[in-house]
Amino acid sequence: MDALSLLQDLIRLPSVNPMGRDLPAGICLESRVSDYLVDALESLDVPHERIEVAPGRANVIARIDSPRATRTILLDAHQDTVPVDGMTIEPFDPIIRDGRLYGRGACDVKGGIAAMLSAFARLSRERPAGASNVVLSCTCDEEHGQLGVSDLTQLWSDGKRRSTLLAAPPDVAIVAEPTELDVVVAHRGAARWMIRTTGRACHSSNPTQGENAIYKMAKVLSRLEDYAGTLAGRVTPHPLCGPATLSVGVISGGVSVNTVPDECLIEVDRRCVPGEHGPSAIEDVGRYLRENLNVDFEMLPPWCIGLTLSDDDNGLIADELLAHIAAIAGERRKIGVPYGTHASRFAAAGVPSVVFGPGSIAQAHTKDEWIEIEQLNQAADVYYRLCASGG
């Protein structure tokens, strides 16, 4: 199970997260990848489980125990990818060119799955003395709702969801994302929600008879832009992750050009820095709008709550990981990043966590996504060395 062959296989298996959109069923959800992972784990003859989280969506977990292990390491990577709109390469045909492998998910994050599975297979085959216990988790729905990691962390915290493979929390977690072999010890978290304005519909030939919800939303948007400009003074930037931010990414409203719209919706993205509390950040936005607007609006419940990763308690595992990276790929560093990962969920569940993997975030979600094959193989070696050691 070399990492390159595994990655080629995984790219051929579409696992697009529809992210609330109506996309072709033949490319959506993780079931094909989950089937492949189960078959691979059965061939290794290691304990494994496929845990359905939602229809067509499952977490696949496996475990290798070492007789003298003093800790348990969780290796986590997500199975889903973003959609393929606008791609200039064939998304599901892995092509090798100039030391790179191209295809959707090559970088984010099927490369991480392949490297982790390759290391896990090697551990299963070689059974190094003094190794850590290792749990491999391949989770679903990372790109949109985080259903998979939310379910996974309940395996050791909710008596109704217990698993024989993860009945107790791991001692540390390594989350695969494209970090160019640096170690992410801190990152921001995304708080996301919708704001709604309502009005009264009427024929556009006499708009005074109605109440235009889009005009109301325009005022909300103006105030949100003002609020975003005040964030640097409201929230101290994190030394590794940078400042807190706010952005509006989606707007929808109206049914036809000749009808005054009675509803308008926007989707808001508020990036929190370590030390911030996601719900409190959302409440602060609502308070600002109420104090500075003369129109009615509604803050709808968030679907992301802005969990961040702090570097307060993951220094030991980060240093250990950096030592293994240096031996294989040269010196790397601890960094912070502006995007979010599963590491924040594990940290919130009491597990010291870091993010490490092959590839560059600059290639994630791109029209010609690719990964350097050398980094892919180096990451597989690092995962193996970390797990083969007892800490």
Classified as helix, coil or strand, 356 is coil
Q: How many CB atoms neighbour CB 199 within 10 A?
A: 21
Q: CATH number of the domain at 189-305, please?
A: 3.30.70.360
Domain pair 3-187+308-388 / 189-305, same fold? no
CA neighbor of 151 nearest in space, from 50, 72, 18, 238: 50
Six-digit token pair at 24? 């072709």
Of residues 370, 346, 366, the one with CA closest to residue 358: 370
Name the pLDDT band for 162 (thresholds 50, 70, 90): confident
pLDDT for position 145? 87
pLDDT in tens, 327-351: 999 999 999 999 999 999 999 999 9
Domain 3-187+308-388: which CATH number of 3.40.630.10, 1.10.3720.10, 3.30.70.120, 3.40.50.360: 3.40.630.10
Output the CA torsion 105→109→114→116 (10° steps): 180
Q: Over range 35-62, report the average pLDDT.
A: 97
Please check the confidence at residue 358 and state whether its pLDDT lies above 80: yes
Find out whether the peptide bond into 109 is cis, omega within 30 degrees of 0.
yes
pLDDT of residue 304: 87
Tokens of 41: 């784990």
In the chain, pLDDT over 70 holds for what percent of residues? 100
Judge residue 301's burial from the number of C-beta atoms within 10 Å of its C-beta, 0-12 exposed, 13-18 middle, 19 or more buried.
exposed
The per-residue pLDDT for 186 is: 98
Q: What proportion of the chain, given as a percentage, has pLDDT over 90?
A: 95
Amino acid letter at 368?
Answer: D
Mean pLDDT value across residues 204-232: 97
- Kindly tell me if the per-residue pLDDT of 278 is higher than 80: yes
Per-residue pLDDT, 164: 87
What is the chain's Cα-based Rg? 23
pLDDT given for residue 20 in this prediction: 87
Quick check: pTM over 0.75? yes
**Taking a C-beta distance cutoff of 8 angstroms, is the pair 100, 10 a contact?**
no
Measured over the CA atoms of residue 292, residue 298, residue 299 and residue 303, the dihedral's sign is negative
Domain range list for the chain: 3-187+308-388, 189-305
**Nearest CA to 183 among 175, 192, 171, 172?**
175
